[in-house]
Structure 1
Amino acid sequence: MNQQIKEELLRQAKLTFNVALCVSAASAMMTLFGVGLIYFNKVSEASLTAGGGALATMTSLNFAKQTKDELCEMIEEDED
């Protein structure tokens, strides 16, 4: 039973990492699109797009880090 829990937690951590990676890639493209809008003098649209991209990146990476930390804590508790 304990091994199954570890395997499930590892599966969820991998899935979370993959989702965070995809969201980070999408938000990076949004940020680059915002930079492109700056070059076309669309400053208000550019700031909104770049800000949204940066916020999505930070949120997804923070979520992935939090999930990894929770997984590490569970493994450490199991070893004790």
Structure 2
Amino acid sequence: MKQKIIDELLRQARLTFNVALAITAASAIMTLSGVGLVYLNKIPEASLTTTAGILASIGSVQFAKDAKEELREMIDKLPEKS
């Protein structure tokens, strides 16, 4: 039973990591788009796009960190094999 729980937690951790990676990639694209808009003299749009990209990146990193910490806590709480 303990192994099934660990396997499920690892599956969820992988999924969480993949989602965080996708969000980080999307936010990087948004940030680069904002930089491109600055060079095209579209300053208000650039500010909005760059800010959204940075906020999404920060949020995804925090989400991945929280998920990892939760996984560690769950593993620590699992009963030891007798």
TM-score computed with the length of structure 1 as normaliser? 0.94
Identify unmatched segments of 5+ residues in structure 2.
Answer: none
Aligned pairs, number:
80
Structure 2 equivalent of residue 19 of structure 1: 19
As a proportion of its length, which structure holds more helix? 1
SS in 1 for 2:73: helix
Alignment RMSD: 1.1
Structure 2 equivalent of residue 43 of structure 1: 43
1:2 aligns with 2:2: yes
Identify unmatched segments of 5+ residues in structure 1.
Answer: none
Aligned partners of 1:79, 1:51: CA distance in 2, in Å? 45
Runs of 4+ with >3 A deviation = none
Structure 2 equivalent of residue 30 of structure 1: 30
TM-score computed with the length of structure 2 as normaliser? 0.92
1:71 aligns with 2:53: no
Q: Which amino acid aligns with 1:22?
A: A
Aligned partners of 2:18, 2:72: CA distance in 1, in Å? 18
For 1:17-57, what per-residue CA distance to the aligned partner results, in whole angstroms no more than 9, with x for missing partners?
01100110011010000001001111100000000011111
Q: What displacement does 1:79 show?
A: 5.8
Aligned residues: percent identity?
Answer: 60
